[in-house]
Structure 1
Amino acid sequence: MTATRFSARLAERTRASHSDSEGAAFMRDLMQGRGTKSDYAALSAQHWFIYDALEAGATGLAADAEAAPFLHPELTRLPALERDLEHLFGSQWRRAITPLPTTEAYAQRIREVSGWPAGFIAHHYTRYLGDLSGGQFIARLMSRHFGFERRGVEFYAFDDIDDLDAFKNTYRRALDDAPWNDVERERMIDETLIAYRFNSDLFVDLLRQKQAAA
């Protein structure tokens, strides 16, 4: 019997958590056209703190043999995200954004695991594979709802990747080939579940923020 590839096992073990994250009320309203441009801007603002931690961690692990196969420069999101934030908030966007409690905890967790390659890749996988997959659908819907042409959804535009599906398959093969034993793979799956929980909790925070401002 052929052993299940680790990438497939990881996807299966985290499928329910992924669905919980996608189904959060804040995100559901945004996707279905009941959210506002301000809601989308609020989400984008929180992304900045998360990706600032992620991309700092990637820089620190660039020479690590375990992490390097995943750390493609084509994935870098901060420059595009900052252009989106300037479009959404204006030139003083840095003064306009602050992290929510879950975002602070999420970014801190990423920083904490940045010395543990498998744990860091759990967060890297959760964010970037999501951006390459469902993120493309999000970008199309946000463009439709709010009239974005490029600025505003440039975060989701991976201009340096010619074939997103092929790239994702390469990433999954790197997961399959990673030199992790069974114990380390289980720990990586557990950390991926933590990452999904942070994403779900962030949507709850965003909804509370919106309701408090109403």
Structure 2
Amino acid sequence: MEAPHPTPSTPEPSDAPEQGAPPPFSTALRTASHEQHTEAENSSFMSRLLGGRLGVAAYRRYTEQLWFIYRALEDVSPDLAADPVAGPFIRPELARTAELERDLARLSGPHWHTAVDPLPATAVYADRIATCARDWPAGYVAHHYTRYLGDLSGGQIIRGTAEKTWGFARKGDGVRFYVFDGIDNPAAFKRAYRARLDALPVDDLEKQRTIDECKRAFALNSTLFRELAEEFPLSA
């Protein structure tokens, strides 16, 4: 679930600041949310999924939940594109909704829309993203950071597991969510993303609120993973 990703995966550290200087905001964000990130990353559901101990139905159900979350993130993109805080993070090469729909068509057939429903944790998560998008651009950035940098980092582990465990074609439908055709150099993209975080045009109080919202995003992911674990116990 830097998501999530799913299991959101934190980015590499920024360049070290000069001695005595405060750390860059991207570093502060990463460091402050480390505990919550670790909890989400080590959830029993994700551990079992990555270990190949759950069937493709669990992967499909997780992908369905991601669809609701990324719709909440991306349906508001046109409205936020000109916002001075959130706008710099709205990048078309990150968009995942269409890729998730390709995956779900592969996983559940052409009529997959008729069968998907959000878990309670997913509904809360998506609603929180929508609230931030409407009322608090810096809070939206916290969710954006948590999800998309996770997709570019730890999300690639999920792709590899899915290809190996359930036989999806390499970077084909079924794992398209994790494939970023528009990003040739993920490491460079992540460095540029962190630079935008460091240049966030808000004061220190707002930055602290953004850090707190990032922690909340990881907690929402953890709750989602707990509900998925209950739906897919190991005995199943």
Class of the TM-score when normalised by the shorter of the 2 chains: over 0.9
Shift of 1:137: 1.4
Distance 1:67 1:46 in 2: 24
* 5+ residue gaps, structure 2: 1-19
TM-score w.r.t. length of structure 1: 0.97
Shift of 1:136: 1.0
- Say if 2:216 is the partner of 1:194: yes
Alignment equivalent of 1:117, drawn from 121, 127, 137: 137
Distance 1:139 1:171 in 2: 22
- Say if 2:167 is the partner of 1:147: yes
- Say if 2:154 is the partner of 1:134: yes
Match of 2:198 in 1: 176
Whether the 8 Å contact between 2:142 and 2:210 is mirrored in structure 1 is yes
- Say if 2:96 is the partner of 1:74: no
Distance 1:209 1:121 in 2: 30
Distance 1:59 1:124 in 2: 15
Distance 2:51 2:78 in 1: 36
Q: Percent identity?
A: 46
* 5+ residue gaps, structure 1: none
Distance 1:169 1:53 in 2: 25
SS at the partner of 1:17?
A: helix
Whether the 8 Å contact between 1:113 and 1:120 is mirrored in structure 2 is yes
Match of 1:100 in 2: 119
Question: Which amino acid in 1 is paired with 2:105?
Answer: E
Match of 1:83 in 2: 102
Distance 1:135 1:122 in 2: 18
Whether the 8 Å contact between 1:57 and 1:110 is mirrored in structure 2 is no
Considering fraction of residues, name the structure with more helix: 1
Deviations 1:52-105 (A, max 9, x none): 100012222111111111111100001111000000000110111100000000
- Deviating above 3 A after TM superposition, structure 1's stretches of 4 or more consecutive aligned residues are none
Distance 1:110 1:58 in 2: 12
SS at the partner of 1:206?
A: helix
Whether the 8 Å contact between 2:146 and 2:217 is mirrored in structure 1 is yes
Tell me the matched-pair count. 214
Whether the 8 Å contact between 2:84 and 2:201 is mirrored in structure 1 is no
Alignment equivalent of 1:52, drawn from 59, 64, 71: 71
Match of 2:24 in 1: 5
CA RMSD of aligned residues (A): 1.4
- Say if 2:18 is the partner of 1:18: no
